[in-house]
Structure 1
Amino acid sequence: MIPRLDNPSALFPAGFKAMVALEQALAQAIDPELLELVKLRASQINGCAFCIYMHTTDLRKRGVDEMKLYLLNAWRDSYLFSERERAALAWTEALTRVADDGAPDDAYNALAEQFSEEERVQLTFAIGAINVWNRLQIGFHVAHPPRGAAMRSDAA
């Protein structure tokens, strides 16, 4: 894949700065493992190799069970995910695929059973943010780094 731009963040620093500020706020608000699972699942759906690489790496650093990473795209059929994670992942899928079915009541109701109003807003912002990052990386053909290379953790 050939990158379309050398450094998109330099061309709109205010936009990237705002995204990084949002990421920092989300990191303070949401359980880190749950946040990374949400980011990884949205990135899988969108096919963003850069973000899949980044969030898989971040989850491994957090010590998440490898099997949980392997089964994330089949979370509905796995006992490894808590009810809270299931609700967040269902909401992630609904909003990432919003053109398919909108935001179905069943996904929202499951979310409401597990999360407070404030947490629902925070998760919805997180899902929106990762979808923006996915579109930036995919749109500009940003490749993931070579295996084992360090990644900036303030993006995507």
Structure 2
Amino acid sequence: MERISYTDIPEGLFKNLRAIEDLISNSPLENKLYELIKLRISQKNGCAYCVDMHYKELKHAGETELRLSSLCVWEETPYFSDKERIVLKFAETLTKINNSPIPEEVYTPLLAHFNKTEICYLSLAITQINTWNRLMKVFLFTPGNYKVGDH
């Protein structure tokens, strides 16, 4: 099933992507929120490998089964905070971009919870998981093999 194996990937490609991951991980963003973004965007993009990975990471971080199973319908459930809802809406909007800027009704609510530096990190975090999703759609790494702590 795998089109491109880990050993086929050009030297430095994953190393540089991991450097961006480290930058985001060392930012003021909460890790659990970052993982929530990664799982939701991976769901939206249909990336089985990344859904498996970020589901496991969130489980390991203590996320509840109810919230994990409801993330795909987050707008219809009461299980997510206002802050999480604002971030999820922003993440989905930035993932499915069109030829217009992000609407004010999506951007402005972020300011109630984040400063501009944090919004920069949020934006980078969302674009980063989109990059990983797109690579995995090409490489076709096998889902199910990921173990927490394996990166």
TM-score for the superposition, normalised by structure 1: 0.88
Report the identity percentage. 33
1:91-146 CA deviation, whole Å, 9 max, x = no partner?
10001111386522211112222211011000100000000000000111112134
Instruction: From the superposition, tell whether residues 117 and 153 of structure 1 become closer, same or farther in structure 2 (CA, over 3 Å).
Output: farther
Give the Cα separation in 2 of the matches to 1:7 and 1:48: 17
Stretches of structure 2 that go unaligned for 5 or more consecutive residues are none
Give the Cα separation in 1 of the matches to 2:99 and 2:78: 27
Stretches of structure 1 that go unaligned for 5 or more consecutive residues are none
Give the Cα separation in 2 of the matches to 1:100 and 1:145: 36
Q: Is the 8 A contact 1:51 1:134 kept in 2?
A: yes
Give the aligned length.
150
> Which protein, 1 or 2, shows the higher relative CO under an 8 Å CA cutoff with sep ≥ 6?
2
Please say which of residues 51-60 and 70-79 is displaced more in the overlay: 70-79
Superposed CA RMSD: 1.8
1:71-102 CA deviation, whole Å, 9 max, x = no partner?
11111121111111111101100011113865
Instruction: From the superposition, tell whether residues 106 and 62 of structure 1 become closer, same or farther in structure 2 (CA, over 3 Å).
Output: same
Q: Secondary structure at the match of 1:115?
A: coil
Give the Cα separation in 1 of the matches to 2:61 and 2:115: 25
Instruction: From the superposition, tell whether residues 100 and 140 of structure 1 become closer, same or farther in structure 2 (CA, over 3 Å).
Output: farther
Q: Is the 8 A contact 1:145 1:151 kept in 2?
A: no
Instruction: From the superposition, tell whether residues 108 and 22 of structure 1 become closer, same or farther in structure 2 (CA, over 3 Å).
Output: same
Q: Is the 8 A contact 1:95 1:102 kept in 2?
A: no
Equivalent AA in structure 2 for residue 39 of structure 1: K
Alignment of 1:1-150 (within 5 A): 2-7=1-6, 10-29=8-27, 30-99=29-98, 103-146=102-145, 150=147
Give the Cα separation in 2 of the matches to 1:136 and 1:37: 20
Equivalent AA in structure 2 for residue 20 of structure 1: R
Give the Cα separation in 2 of the matches to 1:142 and 1:99: 29
